[in-house]
Structure 1
Amino acid sequence: MELAMELVRMNIRLYLSSEQTCNYLEQEESRSLFVDPAIKINSSLISQLSQNGFRRNGSLLYRPHCNHCNKCMSCRVICRDFKPSNSQKKILRKAKLLDWKLVPMKFTQEHYYLYQKYIEARHIDGDMYPASEQQYQSFLICGDIPQLLLEIRTSEGLLICGAAVDCLDDGFSAVYSYFDPDFSQLSLGKLIILRLIEHCQSSQLAYVYLGYWIENCRKMAYKKNYPPMEFFNRKQWISEPVNHNADMDL
């Protein structure tokens, strides 16, 4: 209950959504706990909430809060102890001629066109299609918190990958990544995570937060490939994801 007491002290309200069909688990109902959207999001707040299993989507901070299921677990990589696997070393070798850097988050047509190409190639059947400039900005850019944009370019300077990253007190939160489908053989989604881990290691930052992981969900299986990791079970961070019946404690 420490988080709930701190939010009360800060005069921050939480709202519980109504139940709706789960996007990840068939025959399940889901609902989420939202931080009052009128609250200004700053670095301290988003860091504290991330440490308590919350996630950012645009200007909204939320956490799954389902009645009978606790399978959506926030996960984070323990960067200090991470060592790439053989397959991840292969990805890094393939990327040795690619340039990458972290730049301030801002809207550019170059990044938007890449995002649009990615959505049209990979998510034409999803609620993010069709892409628009307004959607891109409202989804990824939140000016009240420190953010960075990870860029990956070819040696000729062609932008082939981008990732929006929130800067936390103890590391990075990977918000969303997009890449040129013509370069999918380079495993750019995996490369982004590896580069973020590398940067945290060199900067002595503890964690890369990867959002929510669900056991037996194919779309999220990749998130467990960066051990050692920790998973938040609504009360504490644990080294192994163990599903418990959901409870109502914050």
Structure 2
Amino acid sequence: MTELRFGLTAAMPCSYLPSQQEQLVFLLPEQPLDASLYQQLLQLNFRRSAEQVYTPHCPSCQACQSVRIAPEHFAPSASQRRLLNKASRLGWRYQLDNDTAGDYYPLFADYIRHKHADGSMFPPAPEQLEGMLNCSWLAVRLLKQFYQGELVAVTIVDETTDALSAVYTFYQPAVSQFSPGILAILFLLQAAMQRQKKWLYLGYQIDACQKMAYKAAFLPQQRFIQGQWRSFG
């Protein structure tokens, strides 16, 4: 990896653990960045936000653990198999493509208003979605889920040579009972196998945050803890 320059944000209240202070290390702007370099940074606990990449560097907390799964070794649980079978019976389908120019904002805004009205992304704004969809140095894909012929869920996905990385999932609140967030991961694991990817990255897991608990159910998995990847399950 070439020599890179990083910055450190000021401490601020953590949006996941209110008792903690959050700080981020980020790659300073105007440095060469491409999919190959980002692939290396993914392996070091970094994530993408719009055109920037960052990693948690909190003064007294190491709760954020990046999660990745090797698709060829993943074994769905009984409940995950039941969910996939249910989706298949109902004619649920997905596709992974690069059509990021569609009008996905109404679905995104509806999701934020209904599911995260108490979160940092409320109120929704078009710029939030545009920042995730558009990246000049990386291939951004969309995993789309369809139910009864209608687009009901979208997952923004970064693609590198050896990995898919799930950025954000949003969906119609009316289909929450079908667990589209869990289906998104199961479908991405299938897509990663088809594309012969080594890893699917799921972002950060925080054990004390209930909203993230679902990631721990995908086994076997690896988590980035204290500077190294450790295997679970």
| TM-score grouping bracket, smaller chain normalisation | over 0.9
Provide closer, same or farther for how the CA distance between residues 77 and 175 of structure 1 changes in structure 2, counting only shifts above 3 A.
same
What secondary structure, in the 3-state scheme, does the structure 1 residue paired with 2:129 have?
helix
Q: 1:196-236 CA distances to partner (integer Å, 9 max, x unpaired)? A: 00111233211110111112221111111111110112422
- After superposition, the CA RMSD in angstroms is 1.7
State the partner residue of 2:116. 123
State the partner residue of 1:160. 152
1:140 touches 1:176 (CA, 8 Å); kept in 2? no
State the partner residue of 1:18. 10
Q: How does 1:1-250 map to 2 (within 5 A)?
A: 6-8=1-3, 12-96=4-88, 97-109=91-103, 111-155=104-148, 157-240=149-232
2:132 touches 2:156 (CA, 8 Å); kept in 1? no
Distance 1:234 1:15 in 2: 20
Provide closer, same or farther for how the CA distance between residues 25 and 125 of structure 1 changes in structure 2, counting only shifts above 3 A.
closer
Question: 1:82: how far off?
Answer: 0.7
What secondary structure, in the 3-state scheme, does the structure 2 residue paired with 1:239 have?
strand
What secondary structure, in the 3-state scheme, does the structure 1 residue paired with 2:55 have?
strand
Question: 1:161: how far off?
Answer: 0.5
Question: 1:40: how far off?
Answer: 4.6
TM-score, with structure 1 as normaliser: 0.87
Of 198-207 and 77-86, more deviation after overlay is shown by: 198-207
Distance 2:94 2:151 in 1: 10
Amino acid paired to 2:135 = C
Provide closer, same or farther for how the CA distance between residues 133 and 168 of structure 1 changes in structure 2, counting only shifts above 3 A.
same
1:160 touches 1:179 (CA, 8 Å); kept in 2? yes
Amino acid paired to 2:205 = W
Distance 1:75 1:210 in 2: 5
Question: 1:27: how far off?
Answer: 2.3
Percent identity over the alignment is: 35
Provide closer, same or farther for how the CA distance between residues 38 and 64 of structure 1 changes in structure 2, counting only shifts above 3 A.
same
1:57 touches 1:140 (CA, 8 Å); kept in 2? no
Q: 1:136-180 CA distances to partner (integer Å, 9 max, x unpaired)? A: 10233213201110111124x211000100002221100000011
